[in-house]
Amino acid sequence: MSRILIIGAGGVGSVVAHKCAQAMRREGVFSHIVLASRTLSKCDAVAASISARIGARIATAQVDADNPAQLRALLKETKPDVLCNVALPYQDLAIMDACLECGVHYVDTANYEPRDTARFEYKWQWAYADRFREANLTALLGSGFDPGVTNVFAAWVMKHELDEVRVLDIVDCNAGDHGLPFATNFSPEINIREVTAKGRYWERGEWIETDPLSWSMDFPFPEGIGTKRCYLLYHEELESLVRHLKGIVRARFWMTFSESYLTHLKVLGNVGMTRIDPVRFQGCDIVPVQFLAALLPDPASLGPRTRGKTCIGNRMQGLRGGKEKTLYIYNVCDHEACYAEVGSQAISYTTGVPAMVGTKLVAQGVWRTPGVWNMEQFDPDPFLQDLATYGLPWQCQELPTPTAN
């Protein structure tokens, strides 16, 4: 039984805390759960929901994870075995440093980003590999849905269905509707930075850059969702997957957006509101995207008003026994069902469940090897079994192989 510390009480942190409490009740995996964030009242509200819904008690604490002394004090006081970091990507390195200093295993859902460049790269976190190995600690990177489950889906297909993969397309569809003209389903600042950055994909050993949202394709989603337009983005899991998937020639990431979202984003971009550099205004420096985030709805507030489904998965084309084979492995998740269960919409839910599962596997020693690891580097089977048990069942089907790409 392990002691767990969750940092970040936003949309995702709330789901992680509910799911850890479920795992504590069902399997006795965790003996003690602490939820800490900058705003204590948010942690207390999550603790009250867990008590009412699951009948379990979790502890709460206040911490500013940008402050190393506060972080160290929290880790020394709460003595966790594993820390699940679901604050913002800016805090990753400070939290990894604190874990090293206090002897705590580390799990997160998003790679480190410096505040002044919207560029996802694992290099800063991979550079911690020797220190984690020497400290006999495990750091598991990107245990959300994408990155996260998409990496594990890829590992499962490579373990059970393909000898080599040629083409990987990760396709993320949010077919949900919150009824608002413009809102983001997770941290607005992180979401807007991601979508307005240049696209990038892997082709025959090199990265090819595309203008933001300039490439699209129509994809037929299953379970009644239907065909939707998806746009090519760069997404962080591509960086590790192209290193680890045998035979990979092309790897791309696609996401759906509504017309209304794209129109708002275009106008906001045109007037400079998505800029991430500081602008002098009435004697203060303000970062436009941070100011915009302060005006937009809190993602957690979208839960009660979002209807419809998400569908995220991988289409993978490769070889099995010398023959071409194409597979589609995916999860479909319903916004209203998530809200009824834990009081959150499906974007937070589909991130929070795998964050709990990754934390659980590290805590149980099932996924525990000293060093810094991406999700596809561990055995996918125990992860995907727990994923289905804790609310995200998945399917894999064979598709006809396209004749040309």
Binding site for ligand NDP (CB under 6 A): 7-13, 37-39, 42, 63-66, 86-89, 91, 109-110, 142, 144-148, 186-187, 190, 299-300, 348, 351
Output the DSSP codes for 380-392. HHHHHHHHHHTT-
Q: Which run of H or of E encompasses 395?
A: strand 395-399
Output 138 or 348, the one with its CB closest to ligand NDP: 348
**Choice between 292 and 319, CB closer to ligand NDP:** 292
Please list, residue by residue across 76-90, b when 16 or more beta carbons sit within 10 angstroms of its beta carbon and e when fewer do. Answer: eebebbbbbbbbbbb
CA distance linking residue 304 with residue 299, whole number of Å: 11
Nearer of residues 42 and 309 to ligand NDP, judged by Cβ:
42
Q: How far is the CB of 132 from ligand NDP (least distance, A)?
A: 20
In the complex, the smallest distance separating the C-beta of residue 326 from ligand NDP, rounded to whole angstroms, is 24
**For residue 286, what are the β-bridge partners?**
279
Q: How many CB atoms lie within 10 A of CB 128?
A: 23
Q: CA-CA distance, 103 to 341, in Å (whole number)? A: 34
As given in the structure block, the two tokens for residue 208 are: 């090819």
Q: Smallest distance, Å, CB 41 to ligand NDP?
A: 8
Nearest CB to ligand NDP, comparing residues 135 and 353: 353
Q: How far apart, in whole angstroms, are the C-alpha atoms of residue 270 and residue 343?
A: 35
When the beta carbons of 37 and 359 are compared against ligand NDP, the nearer one is: 37
Question: In the complex with ligand NDP, which residue's Cβ is closer, 186 or 219?
Answer: 186
Structure tokens given for 29: 């995996």
* Residues with Cβ within 8 Å of residue 324, at least 6 apart in sequence: 317, 318, 401
Shortest approach of ligand NDP to residue 404 CB, angstroms?
A: 31
Rg (CA), the chain: 20
Q: Shortest approach of ligand NDP to residue 26 CB, angstroms?
A: 24
- Reference 328, options 197, 181, 184, 169; nearest CA is 169
| Residue type for position 337 | A
Which residue, 93 or 319, is less far from ligand NDP as judged by CB? 93
- State in angstroms the smallest separation of the CB of 89 from ligand NDP: 5
Taking the complex as a whole, the smallest distance from the CB of residue 302 to ligand NDP amounts, in Å, to 10
Which single residue brings its beta carbon nearest to ligand NDP? 10
